[in-house]
Amino acid sequence: MFDYHVHTRLCNHAEGVMSDFVLRAIEIGLKEICFLDHLTLQDQGKELSMTPGEVPMYFQAVQVLKKKFADRIDVKAGLEIDFSETHADMAADIVNTYSFDVIGGSVHFPEGFDVVRRSSTWGNKGDYTDEDVNRVYSRYYETMSRMLDYDYFDILCHFDLAKKFGRKPSRSFDNEIIEILRKVKQKDLTLELNTSGYAHPAGESYPAPDIIKKCSDFGIRFVLGSDAHDPKSVGRYFDKAIRLLEEAGCKKIVSFSGRKKCVIPIDF
């Protein structure tokens, strides 16, 4: 099994040295671990990310671990790039400068609205009407759809992150989700099944089980990611993730090397 989403202290909100993440992955029997740390280029949220100037150090640190643990586990290098239309060209330039194994695209601040931090109004139980909540979800999925017009990334991270704090829309967004999944399939991209939602008020994976089933119907495949911000969280809730994939009829997952995907049967 593989964990394709772990962070480092470079993002300024994670704990533990990088080698401890790798050692934890070995301890629980993982075959691959991929560092997918934050790169946020817009002003909002950049304090939760490494800077562009730190990318070379980060990439080299992963290469050192890759060599050190080569006989025990495959260590991969990636980035989780927070989508910003204004900075999309810069993101592509950074990605193309280094031989990353995989690049994730994520939405944390749709049209400047913070859906990820507990300290935000979305996270600290601010007052929102049903109409307000629906508007946030609409903004979130519209931003994700626009992100899919760009080609610098390989996987979509935590697809329905807007539900993180337990706020659910009062109307269906199935039409928007299906249109996004059509784009994903057309571009041959991969979704992340992110298990961190089990530790959030959302109480379920990103994406939700019904979206996983839609992905299976489209023939869209997944990588597994814990979104670990500390070593003990590596591979967390993967037993739940495997059951979800099995129930949805997904029989294979994806790994990456040099941004080329490899499809691997799941050993249920």
pLDDT confidence bin for 151, thresholds 50/70/90 = very high
pLDDT confidence bin for 114, thresholds 50/70/90 = very high
pTM of the model: 0.95
pLDDT confidence bin for 267, thresholds 50/70/90 = confident
pLDDT confidence bin for 226, thresholds 50/70/90 = very high
The pLDDT of residue 260: 96
The pLDDT of residue 259: 96
Residue 13 per-residue DSSP state = S
Q: How far apart are the first and last CA of the chain?
A: 11
pLDDT confidence bin for 126, thresholds 50/70/90 = confident
The pLDDT of residue 124: 84
- Indicate the SS3 state at residue 12: coil
Residue 250 per-residue DSSP state = -
Number of domains in the chain: 1
State the residue for tokens 């697809």: 159
Is the pLDDT higher at 194 or at 127? 194
> By C-alpha distance, which of 40, 52, 261, 263 is closest to 154?
261
State the burial class of residue 44 (Cβ atoms within 10 Å of its Cβ: 0-12, 13-18, 19+): middle
pLDDT confidence bin for 9, thresholds 50/70/90 = very high
> Considering the chain, what is the average pLDDT of its residues?
96
- Exposure on the CB side of residue 101, measured as CA atoms within 13 A: 23
Residues 118/129/82/190 CA torsion (nearest 10 deg): 110
> By C-alpha distance, which of 133, 141, 150, 152 is closest to 110?
141
pLDDT confidence bin for 160, thresholds 50/70/90 = very high
At residue 191, does pLDDT exceed 80? Answer: yes
**pLDDT over 90, % of the chain:** 97
DSSP β-bridge partners for residue 261: 256
Mean pLDDT of 46-61: 96
Domain extent at residue 128: 2-265
Tokens standing for 184? 């994903």
* CATH number, domain containing residue 34: 3.20.20.140
78 near 103, Cβ under 8 Å?
yes
Is the pLDDT higher at 213 or at 268? 213
Tokens standing for 222? 């997944």
> By C-alpha distance, which of 246, 240, 244 is closest to 268?
246
181 near 215, Cβ under 8 Å?
yes
